[in-house]
Amino acid sequence: MWKPFFTIRPTKSWQFTPAIEAQIFRLRHLNPPISPIGFIAQAELASDGLYQFYDVKRLNGLTPYECLVYVKPIFFSDRVLAFRQDYRTANNWNIVIEYTTQLIVINRTERLATKLNDPGRTLILAVI
């Protein structure tokens, strides 16, 4: 089951969530602009006061939901998620971030793309 975590409004500067240990996330785009729309990364505040970024990915917003697996790097102690909009993106875009700890295994003949973006389903991590 998906659990609510945080809602964020990306801007042209990086925006950060609170620290989280979960690894499976679903992003629900509210008022998404036309693609490309922005970026997501894992980040940690370093001792020098600057954020260290890891595994930066582009968000496309082509579907209302995007599912991600973000394994926390062993060198991060307090990992946060970071979001930034593309310089061409409008300012009314919000992202509702949810997480789960469930693992779903499906038969390889099922359509993965449908399962990944279906709001009633959990992210597929393994195919048999």
SS3 36: coil
Which residues have C-beta within 8 Å of that of residue 83, sequence separation ≥ 6?
Answer: 8, 10, 14, 15, 16, 17, 38, 39, 40, 59, 95
**pLDDT given at position 106:** 53
Which pTM does this prediction carry?
0.76
Structural domains in the chain plus CATH codes: 3-101 (2.60.120)
**pLDDT given at position 38:** 87
Question: Could you list the mean pLDDT of each consecutive 10-residue stretch along the chain, which spans 128 residues?
Answer: 92 94 90 77 94 91 81 90 83 88 60 47 41
SS3 69: strand
